[in-house]
Amino acid sequence: MLDQSLEEIATMLGLTVNAVKAHLARGRARLKEINAQAPAKPAPRPASPAVARYVALFNRHDWDGLRAMLADDVRLIQSTHPLRAGAADVGMFFGIYSRSAPVRLAPAWLDGREVIAVYEDPQAVKPVI
């Protein structure tokens, strides 16, 4: 547990080593039980046509094609950047990607909302955002 030996855990908790082993065994059994009761993951949902097109254009580095998709009321919300609003402001954002290391996008769903996953390494399996 957290790179601690059974003896170290026992000392920290004021228990015997056998008591620590018993608690760990019960904890593992409970986790197995909880995992067995977890609902099955829903089938993956397909991307909407607009998101699929956006991702395809981005991955091809078709910045003009992306700019052409933008409506005047578009908003770009990113967790690490300020809000960008309007076709001109969001369209300028693609210039950042044209000058940076390659990233890959993929359509995804998160908590029932359609999102776009960003992979900093084009070969990565796990997105950064």
Q: How confident is the model at residue 129 (pLDDT cuts 50, 70, 90)?
A: low
Give the tens place of pLDDT for each residue, 40-86.
777 778 999 999 999 999 999 898 898 888 888 888 887 778 888 98
Mean pLDDT of 9-19: 92
- How crowded is residue 20: how many other Cβ atoms within 10 Å of its Cβ? 21
Distance CA 22, CA 15 (A): 11
Q: How far is CA 80 from CA 52, 64, 83, 95, 114, in A?
A: 23, 24, 9, 17, 19
CATH topology of domain 49-119: Nuclear Transport Factor 2; Chain: A, (3.10.450)
pLDDT value of residue 76: 83
Q: How confident is the model at residue 11 (pLDDT cuts 50, 70, 90)?
A: very high
pLDDT value of residue 25: 93
Give the tens place of pLDDT for each residue, 84-121.
898 888 888 777 777 777 788 999 998 888 999 888 87
By CB atoms closer than 10 A (0-12, 13-18, 19+), residue 42 is exposed
Domain residue spans of the chain:
6-37, 49-119
